[in-house]
Amino acid sequence: MIITSTLCFTAFGQSKDFNNVFDACRMAQSSMADGEGSKSEIREASRLLSSVIWRPLTLEPLNTEGEADIKGHLVFTPEFFEAVSNGKRKVYDMAKKYAREHEKDKMRGDDKVLMCTKCIGAKQTVTYRMKHYHPQVRVAAVAEVNGMVNIKVWVKDTAGNLYEKKSTTDEYKGMPYRKLDELTIPRDCNDIVYITVENKYDEPRSVAIIVDNKTVEQ
């Protein structure tokens, strides 16, 4: 049995930090829309992301054959944004280094908001899982410029029933960003949350995956 919830765009219950991380990623995405990038916009994205309390998201690979090399793609961290805004030409060639350093930076903040960058191949779908001990979870995704994505988050209870939230608008072509409504986790579920991201674009694209552990408005 699958219990499905639709995509919701209301701000009810969303934490301020979660929204700020999401907005910073969208700002970085938008800054690249003209091909060369808006230095002022991505600098503001770096400032906003630096001002928020968040921590790198650790995801366990479940079905990740569709991942691609992140070299040459945007990494959603304030350090990478700052390097882009400063005109460092080789920053994209060093994307893997920035992503690796981000994954190791466990002291950045608490676990109320978590984020990581994954690169997904053209027309590919990947699935991850993570330990989660909170009664609710909310997930968002932001693709780098020209990226089009779908996302789904789900849990399974002890009887095998699935509870999920997923993209329900423009699924065929995807959208540049997605923000799912809160998924309430039944008490008889295990502590594993599954996240699936689909890249609908015909080239590899990096994607910020953002998880909100807060359950009330700050």
What is 31-54 written as a DSSP string? HTTTSS--HHHHHHHHHHHHTS--
- CB 36, CB 85: distance < 8 Å: no
What pLDDT does 217 receive? 36
217 domain residue, yes or no: no
Q: Where are the alpha helices (DSSP H) in 34-105?
A: 39-50, 78-85, 95-104
Measured CA to CA, the distance from residue 163 to residue 186 in angstroms comes to 8
Per the document, the length of the chain is: 218
Q: By the 8 A CB rule, do 66 and 119 touch?
A: no
Residue 218 lies in a domain: no
C-alpha span between 186 and 170 (Å, rounded): 29
Angle between helices 39-50 and 78-85 (to 10 degrees): 160
The answer to the question of residue 173 being in a domain is: yes
Determine the structural domain holding residue 195 and report its residue range: 2-212
The candidate with the shortest Cα–Cα distance to 125, out of 194, 192, 32, is 194
Closest CA to 124 of 103, 148, 144: 148
What pLDDT sits at residue 1?
52
For residue 148, the model assigns a pLDDT of 97
Per-residue pLDDT tens digits of the chain, which is 218 residues long: 554 443 333 334 568 899 999 999 999 999 987 655 688 999 999 999 999 889 999 999 999 999 999 999 999 999 999 999 998 878 999 999 999 888 776 555 566 899 999 999 999 999 999 988 788 899 999 999 999 999 999 998 888 888 999 998 999 999 999 999 999 888 877 778 999 999 999 999 999 999 997 643 33
Give the number of domains in the chain.
1
Cα distances from 113 to residues 71, 95, 159, in angstroms, run 26, 22, 30
Q: How far apart are CA 110 and CA 123, in angstroms?
A: 34
We report the CATH number of the domain holding residue 200 as 2.60.120.380
Q: Is the CA virtual torsion 181, 187, 188, 191 positive or negative?
A: positive
Tokens for 114? Answer: 């978590």
Of the candidates 112, 114, 116, the residue with the CA atom closest to the CA atom of residue 126: 116
